[in-house]
Amino acid sequence: MNFSRFFAVVKARNIEFFRDRSSLGWNLFFPILMLVGLSFVFSGDGRAVYKVGVMNLAQSQSSFLDTKHVGFIDYQETALAKVKLEQHSIDLLINFNTQQYWVNQGAPNSYLVEKIFLSDHKNFQRIETQGKKIRYVDWVLPGILGMNMMFSCLFGVGYVIVRYRKNAVLKRLKATPLSALEFVSAQLVSRLFIVIFMSSVVYLCCNVFFDFYMLGSYFDLLVIAILGAFSLITLGLLVASRSKSEELIGGLLNLSSWPMMLLSGVWFSLEGAPNAVKVFADFLPLTHLVAGARKIITEGATLADISYHVSILMGMSVLFLALGAYFFSWNTER
C-alpha cells in the first residue's frame, strides 16, 4: 500500500464530488427537504394506519379491537409499552383491565387514535406520558439521514466505479502502478468522509430549526454513523465489483436500496410487523444503522447497549469488503 498514491486518489475523488454542484446540492438539500416536508405533513393529519399497544391483548375484549386500519400489539410490561409510546413506536397504549389509557401528547397520531378510542370508551382514565416529548421529526431523523447516507454510499460508490469502468478511467488507472487495493480503499475513505461530512452538515443545519431531541452521546452517534456508512459503502463496492453496465448496476443498486428504504424502519417502526419481515430486515445494514442511531437519540443508549447492531454492522462490512475485493475486476477486456 503506497499512501501517497492512496491519498492522491482520495483527494481527486473528493474534488470531483464537491465540484459537482448538482450532486452536492442534491445530497445536501434532499434530506433537509424531506425533514421539513415531513414535519409539516405530520404536524397535521397522520398516517392511515395506527398502532395501538394493548396490555395483555389475549385477555382483552372490546369492540375497539375490531377497528379496521388499526394494528394491535400485545405488551406484558407497562413500563416497556410506555417507552414505546414515548418513542412513537405505538400511537396509544390501553389497559382494558384497569380501564386506563396512555397518550403521547406530542404525537398527532396519538391524538387521532384517541378520538377513535373515546367514541367507544368514555369512562377510561386518560394518562399522558411523562418525560420530554419526542416529536415525529425526532423519531424520523435517523431514518432520513440513514436513508440519505444509504443512497450516497450505494450510488456514490457503485455507480461511480461502474462509470469509471465503462468510460475507461479504470483502464487508464490500471495502466499506472496504482493497485486495486489502493484504488478501492481510496474510494471507500473518500466516500466515508463525504457521507459523514454531508450528514453532519445536514444534522447541524436542521438542528438550528428543529432543536432535535438527543438523549445519548454525539460521539456514539458518530461511531454508529461511521460503521453504518462503512457497511453501506462496502455493499456498494460489492455490487459494483464486476459490471460495466450502468443499466445493470442501476437495477442492482435499486434492488439493494428499496428493501432497505421500506423495511429498515426509516419511515415507520417495525413494531408489530410480521416476524418474517423483522427477520428479513435484520439482514439489511440500514436497519442496524437506523435502529442503533435511534436508540442513542431517543433512549440515550450507549455503544455497549447497542452492541448487537454495532457487531452486525462490523460483520457485514468485513463480509462485503472481502467479497468485493475477491470479485473486483478492473474489467479492461473489450
Partner 1 sequence: MRESELLRCVMQEVIRVENLTKSYKDVVAVDHINFSIKKGVCFGLLGPNGAGKTTTIEIMEGIIKATKGQVFYHDKPVDESMSQQIGIQFQHTALQDFLTVKETLNLFTSFYKHTVAHEELIELCDLSEFLDRDNRLLSGGQRQRLLLALALINDPEIVFLDEPTTGLDPQARRNFWQLIKNIKARNKTVVLTTHYMDEAQQLCDDVLIMDHGKVIERGTPRELLNKHFEEVFIYLPAEQVPTELSQQLNWQVQNQQVEITTTDVEATIALLLAKNVSLSGLHVKSPNLDDLFLKLTGHTIRD
As a whole number of angstroms, the distance between CA 168 and CA 202 comes to 34
Residue numbers 2-31 binding partner 1 by CB under 8 A: 4-5, 7-9, 11-13, 15-16, 19-20
8 A C-beta contact, residue 53 and residue 265:
no
Q: Which is nearer to partner 1, 16 or 128 (CB)?
A: 16
Please state, in angstroms and rounded to a whole number, the distance separating the CA atoms of residues 164 and 167. Answer: 5
Considering only residues 29-58, where is the footprint of partner 1 by CB under 8 A?
none
Confirm if 10 and 184 have CB atoms less than 8 A apart. Answer: no
Grid cell in block for residue 58:
389475549
Shortest distance in whole angstroms from residue 201 CB to partner 1: 20
**What's the per-residue H, E or C state across 21-38?**
HHHHHHHHHHHHHHHHHH
Applying CB under 8 A, among 171, 242, 244, 278 the residue interacting with partner 1 is 171
- For residue 187, the minimal CB distance to partner 1 (Å) is 12
Q: Quote the Cα angle for 219-220-225, to 5°.
A: 95
Q: Which is nearer to partner 1, 124 or 330 (CB)?
A: 330
Helices (H), 51-179: 78-86, 108-118, 136-153, 160-166, 169-174
d(CA 288, CA 271): 15
Shortest distance (Å) from residue 193 CB to partner 1:
16
Cα–Cα dist 196/260, whole Å: 19
* Residue 314 binds partner 1, judged by CB under 8 A: no
Total site size for partner 1, rule CB under 8 A: 25
Give the x-and-dash track for 83-102 against partner 1 (CB under 8 A).
--------------------
Q: What residues contact residue 271 under an 8 Å CB cut-off, 6+ apart?
A: 51, 73, 84, 89, 90
The helix/strand/coil state of 127 is strand
Is 83 in contact with 77 (CB distance < 8 Å)?
Answer: no
User: Is the Cβ of residue 15 or residue 322 nearer to partner 1 in the bound state?
Assistant: 15
Stretch that binds partner 1, among 71-79, 119-127, 173-181, 227-235 (CB under 8 A): 173-181
Interface with partner 1, residue 168, by CB under 8 A: yes
Q: 44, 131, 177, 274: which one contacts partner 1 (CB under 8 A)?
A: 177
Pairwise CA distance, residues 269 & 291, whole Å: 10
The answer to whether residue 175 forms part of the interface with partner 1 (CB under 8 A) is yes
- Residue of 167, 245, 302, 329 that binds partner 1 (CB under 8 A): 167
Q: Which is nearer to partner 1, 139 or 183 (CB)?
A: 183
Q: Which is nearer to partner 1, 77 or 333 (CB)?
A: 333
Minimum gap (Å) between residue 189 Cβ and partner 1: 15
Residue 221: phi, psi to the nearest 5?
A: -65, -40
Contact 92, 84 (CB under 8 A): no
Segment near partner 1 (CB under 8 A); pick from 71-79, 99-107, 169-177, 319-327: 169-177
Q: Select the residue interacting with partner 1 from 25, 119, 172, 267 (CB under 8 A).
A: 172
Q: Which of 61, 105, 130, 176 binds partner 1 (CB under 8 A)?
A: 176
Window of 166-174, 262-270, 281-289, 299-307 that interacts with partner 1 by CB under 8 A: 166-174
Contacting positions for partner 1 (CB under 8 A): 4-5, 7-9, 11-13, 15-16, 19-20, 167-169, 171-172, 174-178, 332-334
